Chain A
C-alpha cells in the first residue's frame, strides 16, 4: 500500500457542486498538507495541520475547507466548486520534526466545468 493515498484520483464536476478530496497516510505522521499545482505556478499551500487539533490556513485557502478526522486522515472540501479550482491537488505528510522526510500522494486531478 502507498504511504499516502488520495481519493479520488480524477474527478470531473460542475460549477457549484460540493467536492471532497480524501487523504490518508500510514506513516504515523502528525504533519499533513494540502497543495494545489497549476502549470507554471508550482505547488501552493491550501491548508496544513501539525496535529489533529491544529489546522492552519495556507496562502490560497479561500474557497476551501479541511477536516482532520484522525492522525491518519486529512480531507479537503470545495463547498461550491468553481472553474478556477481546476487543478492537480496533492496531499503530503511529514514526520513530527521540521526535518522530517516528505511523502506525497499520487495527486487528485480535479476538473470543474
Chain B
C-alpha cells in the first residue's frame, strides 16, 4: 500500500463546479505539500501546510492531522485549472525515499 494515496485519480468537471481532491497518508509528517503540474511539465507549489487551512484565490487546502487526511478544493473551476495535482508529505527523516513522499497525482480536466 502506498504511503500517500490520492483520490480520485482522474476528474472531469464542468466550468464553475466546486472540486475536491483528497490525499490520505499513513506516516507521521512534518508538513504536507500540494503541487500543480500543467501539461508541458513544470511543477509549482500551491500550498504547504502542517495544520488547519490555507486559502489562495480560488484554492483552499485543509489538513486534519489526527485523521491523516488533506483536501484541496477549487471553487468556481475554470479550464485553466486543468492540470495534475500532486500531494506530497514531508517526513522528519530521510532514507531511500528522502524526506518527501509523493502521491501519484490527480488529473483534473475542466470543460468549458
Give chain A's interface residues, CB within 8 Å of chain B: 33, 40-43, 45, 48, 50, 56-59, 88, 90, 92, 94, 98-104, 106-107, 109
Contact = CB atoms under 8 A, between A and B. Distances in A.
A42 B105 contact: yes
Contacts of A101: 33, 45, 48
Contact of A103 (B45, B99, B102, B104): B45
Nearest to A102: B45
Interface of B: 30-31, 33, 35, 41-45, 48, 50, 86, 88, 90-92, 94, 96-100, 102-105
A95 B104 CA distance: 24
B103 A59 contact: no
Given A98-B92, A99-B50, A107 B41 contact: yes
A30 to B, nearest CB: 12
22 contacts: A40-B104, A42-B103, A43-B86, A43-B88, A43-B102, A56-B94, A56-B98, A57-B96, A58-B96, A88-B41, A90-B43, A98-B92, A99-B48, A99-B50, A101-B33, A102-B33, A102-B48, A102-B100, A104-B42, A104-B43, A104-B44, A106-B42
A26 B13 CA distance: 37
Contacts of A94: 100
Nearest to B96: A59
Contacts of A50: 94
A26 to B, nearest CB: 16
Contacts of B98: 33, 45, 48, 56, 58
The 5 closest A-B CB pairs, nearest first, are A104-B43, A107-B41, A42-B104, A98-B30, A99-B31
B74 to A, nearest CB: 20
Given A48-B94, A104-B43, A107-B41, A98 B102 contact: no
